Amino acid sequence: MNKLNLAVLFGGQSSEYSVSLHSAGSFLRQIRKENYNLILIGIDQNGVFYLYNGDVEQIEHDTWKNDQDCTPCAFIHKGVISLEDPENKIDIDVVFPILHGKNGEDGCVQGLLELMNIHYVGCDVMSSSISMDKEIMHILCKEANIPCAPYVCLKKYEENPSFEEIQKQIPLPWIIKPCNAGSSYGVHKVETREDFEPAVEDAFYYDGRGKILVEKAIDGFEIGCAVMGNETVFTGSIDEIQIHGSIFDFEGKYEDKGAEIICPARITEQQFKDAQKLAYRTYKAMNCTGLARVDMFLTSDQEIILNELNTIPGFTATSRYPSMMNDAGISFPDLIDKLIELAMQRKVGVC
């Protein structure tokens, strides 16, 4: 069988640039290199694309961008060209975007690849963009009868309800968060009136589209489910996050501080099944393909509600998505092969 030409995208013009470098490093160490012709494409924080010929360590240490190993490049129809040698097209069968947040996970890069008629791993343009916007997710979940936390959306250039008005709708404590961010940037717990203004300001700072959410702070704990598939969907294991503070913050997520991930979650068999079912329903409601990690809460009333859906979850060897799939019997290298197979099955350039 011919090896697939697989382009791996890493970096990105997003606040989650460094998270992507770590994910890409682990991914490149785990992938079965004998199955693919690998083409590495780094995107710097200004959004410039480079063909990269260096080693994995430099990606992990963020020293990958140097004249020796990089040439600026551009996607063209079914391939990529180095801008220093534009006559020489490198064919690409499929792209694995290991990009998080803005421009990577929100449908932008997916749109570029659709236009270039290149297969890519993960959700399509529409599913990526709706899942990225937490207000749109709330609206669609309401339609689909998927339970979520009560919320109010505040918009930067519009008249918004006051603290008191919000309080009438949603009793304190609240979580204030950007509609379009990730990695817990700009997320704050609000317990008093004094907490409100600074939280709003910081959440707006991280939201490029000027929209933030005030949500009821859910009393309970966080669980997640790894989901994979196109028409036929597989739900993996459920994990549980034990946090020591009030938010699963950046340090807890990436620096092993203040949080522990337990997989499988210490919940009843019925709760496990219910969580898988809610994850499946959310995946289908958002018309996802490829993969997603569905994050939920198990409330103190023993109810399972949705928090958010991540279309490109963290991909390091210890990340939640690969760990939940591993717990369901799918090793990291098998998972990569399977996700690429799913990408090849989906049509591109037609939506």
Does residue 133 interact with ligand ADP by CB under 6 A? no
Does residue 218 interact with ligand ADP by CB under 6 A? yes
Does residue 136 interact with ligand ADP by CB under 6 A? no
3-state class percentages of the chain: helix first, strand second, coil last, to nearest 5: 30, 30, 40
Q: Convert residues 29-68 into a mask of x (bound to ligand ADP by CB under 6 A) and - (unbound).
A: ----------------------------------------
| Cβ neighbours of 177 (radius 10 Å) | 25
Does residue 239 interact with ligand ADP by CB under 6 A? no
CA dist., res. 108 & res. 94, Å (int): 16
In terms of CB distance, is 89 or 189 closer to ligand ADP?
Answer: 189
How many Cα atoms occupy the beta-carbon half-sphere of 11 within 13 Å?
Answer: 22
Kindly tell me which residue out of 60, 105, 240, 308 binds ligand ADP, with binding defined by CB under 6 A.
Answer: 308
Does residue 172 interact with ligand ADP by CB under 6 A? no
Strand order in the sheet with 174-178: 151-155, 211-216, 174-178, 188-190
Short-list 178, 217, 230, CA closest to 341: 230
Kindly tell me which residue out of 175, 190, 306, 309 binds ligand ADP, with binding defined by CB under 6 A.
Answer: 175
In terms of CB distance, is 217 or 343 closer to ligand ADP?
Answer: 217
In terms of CB distance, is 65 or 253 closer to ligand ADP?
Answer: 253
CB 143 within 8 A of CB 136: no
Q: How many residues bind ligand ADP (CB under 6 A)?
A: 18
Any alpha helices (H) in the chain, and if so which ranges? 17-30, 56-60, 108-115, 125-132, 134-143, 163-169, 193-206, 250-254, 269-285, 320-327, 332-345
Kindly tell me which residue out of 222, 239, 240, 274 binds ligand ADP, with binding defined by CB under 6 A.
Answer: 222
Q: Which residues are at the interface with ligand ADP (CB under 6 A)? A: 149, 175, 177, 181-184, 187, 215-218, 222, 247-248, 295, 307-308
